[in-house]
Amino acid sequence: MPDSPARRRPNRQAAGVPALEPLVRELSEADDTLKQRVTGRQVAYAGHYLHLERVTAVMPDGAEVVRDVVVHPGAVVIAPLDEAGRLLLVTQFRLPAGGAMLELPAGTLDTHDGQVEEPVAAARRELEEETGYRAERMERLGGFWSAPGFSTEYLTLYLATGLTPAGQDRLAHDADEDLRLARVTLEDAIAATETGVIEDAKSIAGILMVARRLGR
Amino acid sequence: MPDSPARRRPNRQAAGVPALEPLVRELSEADDTLKQRVTGRQVAYAGHYLHLERVTAVMPDGAEVVRDVVVHPGAVVIAPLDEAGRLLLVTQFRLPAGGAMLELPAGTLDTHDGQVEEPVAAARRELEEETGYRAERMERLGGFWSAPGFSTEYLTLYLATGLTPAGQDRLAHDADEDLRLARVTLEDAIAATETGVIEDAKSIAGILMVARRLGR
């Protein structure tokens, strides 16, 4: 499994909020005092882009634990906001969920020759493939693990603005993806997170982080 | 893999927001027109509570796809809010993330004799195990898939209020979990999601959904 730029742990920042400083200190201390030291890894299943590893680790008290870990290269999620204040969302069928879902555009980081691409490159590619638009500005708003109890997937969130249609040379999306585009005002997207119309963690987190950033 | 109450698809509700009605209709239509019909499943790895299945499905155009799906019983995430307006958060070491993380209390649904427990029962149990508190009121605020591209994990979110210490007969948490409790005002928790101090999708979604509900 190659090193992924998405899995390099970003720095936690108190960012001028004094009340957060003790939390940041406690987390840094917990990195050491609660550390589980990995002593072994065994690939139990190697898939197309997912691996499942059985990881053995030693707890601070010396006890040994074995965990099933889904090893994932990382991903991006994009909040494309047009001039009219509408988000571009996509509807697609999600086999694991057994139904269609409304989500922010997103995608897995590509791996070429053992190198995982930079998240911002993936964000530009996925935005174009899934929506047909390019963005003048692609601003990193944050990032998060999707399921840190069992998966290494880390998603980086971008706010994409200055949208223009990609034109004739548009990147096509994967043949096994069947997507529909929806334009939804930020207010309606927020309402969709509150009513169960959007039931996707990365999309809920992304939409509500954009709302905070824009003071809605 | 037993049927899980957490994986029964909740109804999407326009909930009195007229602008959401076309989105709800489009999603219901997409459930059919974009449907990928499962034609085969093969367990590639059977773990303690995770399975990895290779699922074969037929797309609407007749093409066949094979997907790696992590089959998960479902989980709960709890936002425990005390009388002083503080959220109870937990710090723990997350092996897949390689570090300590600050999160809302959460946990996987238990399975006994092939039956997966109801999410609200798991929420009460996990709240007590992870924080030492019980809640008078446990209100479902929503739910979401953590990673619908590759995992069946569906999390139900609860707002827990009317908190009282569990006392001497407190349920203990698992021996291989090492947790620390933090009390953080809702405002500071929101700031923590904006600064990368909290980098966990379910916690970001949960905290910002609670903030919306409470009009912050």
Q: What does the pLDDT read at residue A14?
A: 72
Pairing of the two strands B86-94 and A64-71: unpaired
Whole-angstrom distance, CA of residue A115 vs CA of residue B37: 34
Phi/psi for B173 (5° steps) reads -80, 170
Q: Is the pLDDT of residue B36 over 50?
A: yes
Please judge whether B212 and A208 are an interchain contact, meaning their C-beta atoms are less than 8 angstroms apart: yes
Q: What is the pLDDT of residues A90-118, one digit of tens each?
A: 999 999 999 999 999 999 999 998 899 99
Structure tokens at A2: 């190659």
Q: What does the pLDDT read at residue A175?
A: 63
The shortest CB-CB distance from B92 to any of A34, A96, A190 is to: A34
CB proximity list for B153: less than 8 A, separation 6 or greater: A147, B70, B72, B74, B75, B145, B146, B147
Average pLDDT on A16-43 reads 92
Q: Are B105 and A156 within 8 A, CB to CB?
A: no
- Please give the model's pTM, rounded to 2 decimal places: 0.95
Q: Is the pLDDT of residue A1 over 60?
A: no
Q: What does the pLDDT read at residue A4?
A: 53
- Per-residue confidence at B172, pLDDT binned at 50, 70, 90? confident
Interface test mutation site (partner A, options B50, B145, B174, max chain A beta carbons within 10 A): B145
Average pLDDT on A131-137 reads 97
Phi/psi for B210 (5° steps) reads -65, -45
Nearest residue to A133 (alpha-carbon basis) of A177, A184, A79: A79
Please judge whether B12 and A195 are an interchain contact, meaning their C-beta atoms are less than 8 angstroms apart: yes
Average pLDDT on B150-163 reads 97
Q: Is the pLDDT of residue A200 over 70?
A: yes
Average pLDDT on B157-177 reads 85
Q: What does the pLDDT read at residue A48?
A: 85
Q: Is the pLDDT of residue B30 over 80?
A: yes
- Per-residue confidence at B170, pLDDT binned at 50, 70, 90? confident
Cβ-Cβ contacts under 8 Å between A and B: the total is 314
DSSP state letter for A8: S
Helix (H, G, I), strand (E, B) or coil at A207: helix
Q: What does the pLDDT read at residue B168?
A: 79
Q: Are A62 and B178 within 8 A, CB to CB?
A: no
Q: Which residue has the higher pLDDT, A47 or A9?
A: A47
Please judge whether A19 and B202 are an interchain contact, meaning their C-beta atoms are less than 8 angstroms apart: no
Q: Is the pLDDT of residue B194 over 50?
A: yes
The shortest CB-CB distance from B45 to any of A38, A52, A213 is to: A52
Phi/psi for A140 (5° steps) reads -70, 120
Rounded to an integer, what is the distance from CA A124 to the centroid of its chain? 14
* DSSP string for residues in chain B: ----GGGSPPPP--TT-GGGHHHHHHHHHHHHHT--EEEEEEEEEE-SS-EEEEEEEE-TTS-EEEEEEEE---EEEEEEB-TTSEEEEEEEEEGGGTEEEEE--EEEPPEETTEEPPHHHHHHHHHHHHHSEEEEEEEEEEEEES-TTTB--EEEEEEEEEEEE--TTPPPPPTT---EEEEEEHHHHHHHHHTTS--BHHHHHHHHHHHHHTT-
Nearest residue to B72 (alpha-carbon basis) of B110, B124, B127, B112: B110
Q: Is the pLDDT of residue A214 over 70?
A: yes
Whole-angstrom distance, CA of residue A35 vs CA of residue A106: 32
Instruction: Encode burial over A79-98: b for 16+ CB neighbours within 10 A, e otherwise.
Output: bbbeeeebbbbbbbbbbbbb
Whole-angstrom distance, CA of residue B213 vs CA of residue B19: 19
Q: What does the pLDDT read at residue A56?
A: 96
Place of tokens 């494309």: A80
Please judge whether B148 and A212 are an interchain contact, meaning their C-beta atoms are less than 8 angstroms apart: no
Interface test mutation site (partner A, options B151, B177, B186, B210, max chain A beta carbons within 10 A): B151
Per mean pLDDT, which range of A18-27, A75-84, A130-139 is the poorest?
A18-27
Place of tokens 């957490």: B6
Average pLDDT on A164-170 reads 86
The shortest CB-CB distance from A148 to any of B52, B97, B145 is to: B97
Distance from CA of A77 to the nearest CA of B (A): 12
Average pLDDT, chain A: 91
Q: What is the pLDDT of residues A39-60, one digit of tens each?
A: 999 999 999 889 999 999 999 9
Q: Are B100 and B197 within 8 A, CB to CB?
A: no
Q: Is the pLDDT of residue A13 over 80?
A: no
Q: Is the pLDDT of residue B98 over 80?
A: yes
Distance from CA of A167 to the nearest CA of B (A): 26
Positive or negative torsion for Cα A171, A175, A176, A181: positive
Distance from CA of A169 to the nearest CA of B (A): 25
DSSP state letter for A19: G
CA nearest A95 in B: which residue? B36
CB neighbours (10 Å) of residue B215?
Answer: 5
Set of chain B residues whose Cβ sits within 8 Å of the Cβ of A53: none
Please judge whether A20 and B149 are an interchain contact, meaning their C-beta atoms are less than 8 angstroms apart: no
Please give the span between the terminal C-alpha atoms of chain A, in angstroms, as a whole number: 41
Q: What does the pLDDT read at residue B9?
A: 56
- Per-residue confidence at A7, pLDDT binned at 50, 70, 90? low
CA nearest B195 in A: which residue? A13
CA nearest A103 in B: which residue? B148
